[in-house]
Amino acid sequence: MTKQLLFGIRESLIYEKKWNFMGNFFGKPEYGPIQGAYSWQHLLFVSLFIGAMIAYAILLGRYNKNKSDTTKNKVLIWSAFLINGFELFKIAFNLGASEDGMSWTTDLPLFLCSIQLIAIPMAAFCKGKIREASLDFVFIFGILGAIMGTIGAAQNYNSYPVLSFPNVVSSITHSISGFASLYIVISGMASMKKENLKYVFGILFSFCILAYIANIILDYNYMFLMSHDGTPYVIIYNLVNGNPILYPILVVLLFVIYILVFAGIYNYFKNKKIKR
Name the least confident of 3-17, 71-85, 93-107, 246-260. Answer: 3-17
Decide if 130 contacts 199 (C-beta within 8 A): yes
Rounded CA-CA distance 160/116 in Å is 24
Confidence of residue 62 (pLDDT cuts 50, 70, 90): very high
**What burial letters (b/e) apply to 212-245, b meaning 16+ CB within 10 Å?**
bebbeeeebbbbbbbebeeeebeebbeeeeeeee
Say which range, 88-102, 126-140, 243-257, has the weakest mean pLDDT: 88-102
Calpha distance 95→239 (Å, rounded):
38
Q: Is the pLDDT of residue 88 over 80?
A: yes
* pLDDT tens string 189-221: 998 988 999 999 999 999 999 999 999 999 999
In order, the DSSP letters of the chain are: -HHHHHHHHHHHHHHHHHHHHHHHHH-SS-------TT-HHHHHHHHHHHHHHHHHHHHHHHHHTTS-HHHHHHHHHHHHHHHHHHHHHHHHHHHHH-S-TTGGGG-SS-STTTTHHHHHHHHHH--HHHHHHHHHHHHHHHHHHHHHHTTT-HHHHTTS-SSSHHHHHHHHHHHHHHHHHHHHHHTT-----GGGHHHHHHHHHHHHHHHHHHHHHHT--GGG-S---SSTHHHHHHHTTT-TTHHHHHHHHHHHHHHHHHHHHHHHHHHHHHH-
> pLDDT tens digits, residue range 1-60?
555 555 454 544 444 455 566 667 888 777 888 999 999 999 999 999 999 999 999 999
Angle CA(163)–CA(38)–CA(51) in degrees, nearest 5?
Answer: 70
Residue 109 contacts residue 87 (beta carbons within 8 Å): yes
Nearest to 132 by CA among 46, 77, 71, 190: 190
Q: Which position has the higher pLDDT, 273 or 259?
A: 259
Q: Distance (Å, rounded) from C-alpha 119 to C-alpha 117?
A: 6
Residues 139/184, Cβ–Cβ less than 8 Å: yes
Per-residue pLDDT, 12: 46
Minimum mean pLDDT range among 56-70, 74-88, 180-194, 219-233: 219-233
Asked whether the beta carbons of 259 and 201 are under 8 A apart, the reply is: yes
- Angstrom distances, CA of residue 186 to CA of 17, 61, 74, 190: 43, 5, 15, 8
pLDDT above 50 (res 134)? yes
Spacing of C-alpha 141 from chain mean position: 9
Report angle CA 95, 144, 51 to the nearest 5 degrees.
Answer: 90
Tens of pLDDT, residue by residue over 140-157, are 999 999 999 999 888 899
* 194 neighbors 268 (Cβ within 8 angstroms): no
pTM: 0.88
